[in-house]
Structure 1
Amino acid sequence: MSADSVTPQVNSSATPEERKRRSIRSFVLRTGRMTPGQQKAYDQYWPLKGLTLGDGVINFSAVFGREADTVLEIGFGMGASLVEMAKAAPDKNFIGIEVHAPGVGKLLHGMGEQQVENIRVYCDDAVEVLNQCIEDNSLDRIQIYFPDPWHKKKHNKRRLIQPAFVQTLRNKLKPKGILHLATDWEHYAEQMMEVMTAADGFSNQADEYCFSPRPEYRPITKFEKRGERLGHGVWDLLFAKTH
């Protein structure tokens, strides 16, 4: 997955107000080109399934053509698990956010190949999408799976799951909506638990300070299977919005 980090992006020529507005990003941009297959899928399906910041605040029923529970995934990587999840839950709407174009191309290719119609996708910064396009109290679930762990201690501050960002997510969830986090880095799992336990307006769906078993709706990815073979653990956190 590539829900990477909250990283300062500072332009020395910008005004203080501009620097403040630009100070948070939900990713670190990585280079990479789409394969011909990914580019073909992007060209074919983006006009039908793609969303942009310029669309402004989106109306889920208009975008999906129906009323249904809506799930948002931040940082879906190459998109295989999101396609699998959406195919298994055709009664739900899914919105994916991924800043890396090859991942978006791969997701669109998978959607076309498996005839999955209930996903819409942004290729942009999740912070901007949340601020500009997602109404408060509108999402039934937000999921962030295997974000960049920034495992060096000096880089821990770049991790995505931080108190302020968690409150942004809470604002977008409906009452009783679920924030689902997963990581295979134990230290990050512990930090996530600390942040979520201290966060206002959330309740752990397991016992206090306890991790949750993996819900059936979250597929086991190739990435996760490889980690299991190497002896890595995986930790899931499910917290419900209380107010």
Structure 2
Amino acid sequence: MSDTSTPAEGQRRMRTIKSFVMRAGRMTEGQQRGLDQGWPRFGLELADGLRDFDEVFGRQAPRTFEIGFGMGHSTLEMAAAAPEQDFIGVEVHSPGVGALLSGVMAQNLTNVRVYSCDALEVLRDCVADSSLDRVLLFFPDPWHKSRHHKRRIVQPAFAELVRSKLKVGGVLHMATDWEAYAEHMLEVMNAAPGYRNQAASGQYIERPQERPTTKFERRGERLGHGVWDLKFERID
């Protein structure tokens, strides 16, 4: 997962505080094999700068950008279920990147590309304005202690950057299992210019079918934990 960084010229300066912590994860053989074999085919580099994703994927297609895909299970499920769409996933933790790449190869998917770095740097430097159909942010770190709230990725500058990359009519879809963070997301997004809340109630939407249910989420449901989904559409 990613947080704020310096924006392109003309955009409001974003904080440099990171919403993720780099962990030293142990790589399995399968994850390492996914990195070794899959990265040359499906990996993209921040240093390459602005990309033409029609050229990268070899076609024009609806395009989804996922921030912090974890171990990649949801990304794989979505990409396999929608071969007519393209998916760009970003994750900082190598075991998750290796796991996703391993799955992409095992399922012979061609509609997934991967960055392994700060997602907001990718948005800022590599993604053209008004080019994305969806941006996904599923279960980001809630940073639940008050003194850590500044680390939350969902901030006004985040909303502004994402809006600039979405097409008009494109959607930012967020999900969290922390009610206080859901309330924070709702407050930030309701105040963000250029968006419309897709919830008829003006709050949260029902869990959409296109968002896969994770093992973590199913375990939480058994324990009585809630999940809150929010969808905000770019309107200008």
TM superposition score category, shorter chain reference = over 0.9
What TM-score comes out, normalization by structure 2 length? Answer: 0.93
> Aligned with 1:96: secondary structure?
strand
> What are the ranges of 5 or more consecutive residues in structure 2 without an aligned counterpart?
6-12
CA contact (8 A) 2:4 2:14 kept: no
Work out which of the residue numbers 191, 214, 218 in structure 1 matches 2:207: 214
The amino acid that maps onto 2:141 is: D
Residue equivalent to 2:92: 99
Cα distance in 1 for partners of 2:125, 2:2 equals 20
Residue equivalent to 2:112: 119
The alignment status of 1:71 with 2:64, answered yes or no, reads: yes
The amino acid that maps onto 1:72 is: F
Cα distance in 2 for partners of 1:154, 1:21 equals 19
CA contact (8 A) 1:78 1:104 kept: yes
Residue equivalent to 2:145: 152
Q: How big is each residue's C-alpha offset from its partner over 1:38-88, in whole Å with a ceiling of 9 and x where there is no partner? A: 111111110000000122111111100111010000000000110000000
> What are the ranges of 5 or more consecutive residues in structure 1 without an aligned counterpart?
8-19
Relative distance call for 1:219 and 1:21 in structure 2 (3 A) is closer
Offset, 1:213 = 1.0
Q: How big is each residue's C-alpha offset from its partner over 1:204-229, in whole Å with a ceiling of 9 and x where there is no partner? A: 01125320111111100111101101
The alignment status of 1:57 with 2:50, answered yes or no, reads: yes
Residue equivalent to 2:219: 226
Residue equivalent to 1:41: 34
What TM-score comes out, normalization by structure 1 length? Answer: 0.90
Residue equivalent to 1:143: 136
CA contact (8 A) 2:50 2:125 kept: yes
Offset, 1:110 = 1.0
Cα distance in 1 for partners of 2:215, 2:135 equals 21
Residue equivalent to 1:194: 187
Q: How big is each residue's C-alpha offset from its partner over 1:1-57, in whole Å with a ceiling of 9 and x where there is no partner? A: xx26559xxxxxxxxxxxx89824352211113211111111111000000012211
4+ long deviations beyond 6 Å: none
CA contact (8 A) 2:3 2:17 kept: no
Residue equivalent to 2:231: 238
Residue equivalent to 2:20: 27
Kindly report the root-mean-square deviation, in angstroms, between the aligned alpha carbons of the 2 structures: 1.8
Cα distance in 2 for partners of 1:82, 1:145 equals 11
Q: State the percentage of identical aligned residues.
A: 58
The amino acid that maps onto 1:105 is: G
Cα distance in 1 for partners of 2:118, 2:96 equals 14
CA contact (8 A) 1:6 1:27 kept: no
The amino acid that maps onto 1:176 is: G
CA contact (8 A) 1:26 1:125 kept: no
CA contact (8 A) 1:26 1:127 kept: no
CA contact (8 A) 1:178 1:240 kept: yes
Aligned residues: 230
> Aligned with 1:29: secondary structure?
coil
